[in-house]
Amino acid sequence: MRQKLGLLGDRDFRHFFLAAAVSQFGSQVSMLALPLAAVLALHASPFAVGVLAACETAAFLLVGLPAGAWVDRMRRRQVLVVSDLGRMAVLGSVPAAWALGVLSMPQLYSVALITGVLTVFFDVASQSYLPHLVGRDALPEGNTKLEVVRGVSQVSGPTFAGLAVQALTAPVAVLADAASFALSALFLRGIHRPEQLPVREPGARLRTEIMQGLRFVLGNAVLRPIAISTATFNLFAAITNVMLIVLLSRELRQSAGTIGLFFSVASAGGLAGALVATRISARLGQGPTIWLSQLATGLFGLGLPLAQAGWPLWGAAFAFSASCAAIAVYNITQLSLRQRLTPDPLLGRMNATMRWMVWGTLPLGGLAGGVLGASFSPRAALWVAAVGGLSASAPLMLSPLRTMRQHAVPAGPRQRLAPEIPD
């Protein structure tokens, strides 16, 4: 039975898996409930919704790089627990303020920004903790299981969020996310595997450690194109994330329940992609899988601006679903590759540098979406996002990943990795 379960047969990974499951589900609720709280409860403008989206991800620009160096100095499980408890407290303030009649856009901006800072530390620590928890050889299986969790939460979370918003109002629905982080912290506290405090070089400075992470990523023939491609895609995806909700709720006048169902249908593709990612990578090779999945994401993304009330809405949802499937394949493959080729002392800084580069474009995209939606229309903004997202595969197609089949091996912090020899 333990062999059939794979990593889930390991108690510590099971706790890590369950923590990811509950927090991912809760985050899907807030992802819909927070902007709907702004649109429906506070009657925010498209630009204000764009600012809110920018606040959610601005932390990756503000603290992304130092977060990696700090995480590499600390026990990563402790970072995970503290981040969860902090997000629980901050998100819990939203329904409390709504009940007291004092909820405002400045508070939503503050909640989004503080939650974003804690999410930066959590994500960097989580991606750096997994190799310690399962070992490098089991990383593809571990990342696949975690991506399946994300896919399931993306399928069920938006529908639950939409129904919760209709029944309880958007601000109160955020309470589900706060509760999920409390439960996640409990699961993480149940992990027993010992973790040593990282050994620092004598006299090491934060700035020097940050620069080591930057040099490792930017000087690497594999990581650099992945960072550029993902950053480009995320810039335009942020426009989509902001304006799609505005289009569905304001222009197409869909109910919160229908909007939630739309995102659930779309996210079913992410679950399907997670289930087949390792098989596709084994068949095509890691490099071709990475650039082909990014290309497919952009191609199917062209269907989103075509959304209309009635059956075309579900045609757009199907295109979104196919795009999400490709995203899942891309995420699992490139993340496993990154984790395997990075030495353990640099994992936090590598992940933080990548997050800083690829998520740092999200607040810019959120603001751009708000400006485009206010100046033209939400649909026009979605067309800009769709065409721009299609260009994200170009850096990958022009890199060694185009023909690379085998994964790279770890290198030292000062060593440039040679590109893989294609089969």
SS3 annotation, 260-300: HHHHHHHHHHHHHHHHHHHHHHHHHCHHHHHHHHHHHHHHH
Q: What's the pLDDT at 389?
A: 94
Give me the domains of the chain, ranges plus CATH numbers: 2-189+207-402 (1.20.1250.20)
What Rg, from alpha-carbon coordinates, does the chain have? 20
93, 75 in Cβ contact below 8 A? no
Q: What's the pLDDT at 420?
A: 32
Asked if the model's pLDDT at residue 159 lies above 80, the reply is no
386, 302 in Cβ contact below 8 A? yes
Provide φ and ψ at 417, rounded to 5°.
-85, 130
- In the numeric block, the tokens 């896919």 are attached to 151
Asked if the model's pLDDT at residue 421 lies above 60, the reply is no
Three-state secondary-structure class, residue 101: coil
Report how far apart, in Å, the C-alpha atoms of 150 and of each of 154, 214, 271, 339 are: 6, 28, 7, 19
Q: How confident is the model at residue 422 (pLDDT cuts 50, 70, 90)?
A: very low
State pTM to two decimals. 0.71
417, 411 in Cβ contact below 8 A? yes
Asked if the model's pLDDT at residue 267 lies above 90, the reply is no
Asked if the model's pLDDT at residue 234 lies above 90, the reply is yes
Token representation of residue 135: 């070992």
Asked if the model's pLDDT at residue 208 lies above 70, the reply is yes
> What is the 8-class DSSP label of residue 73?
T
Mean pLDDT of 86-98: 93
For residues 224 and 210, the model is more confident at 224
- 403's enclosing H/E stretch is none
Task: Say which residues have a Cβ less than 8 Å from residue 279's Cβ, sequence separation at least 6.
Answer: none
At 97, which amino acid appears? A
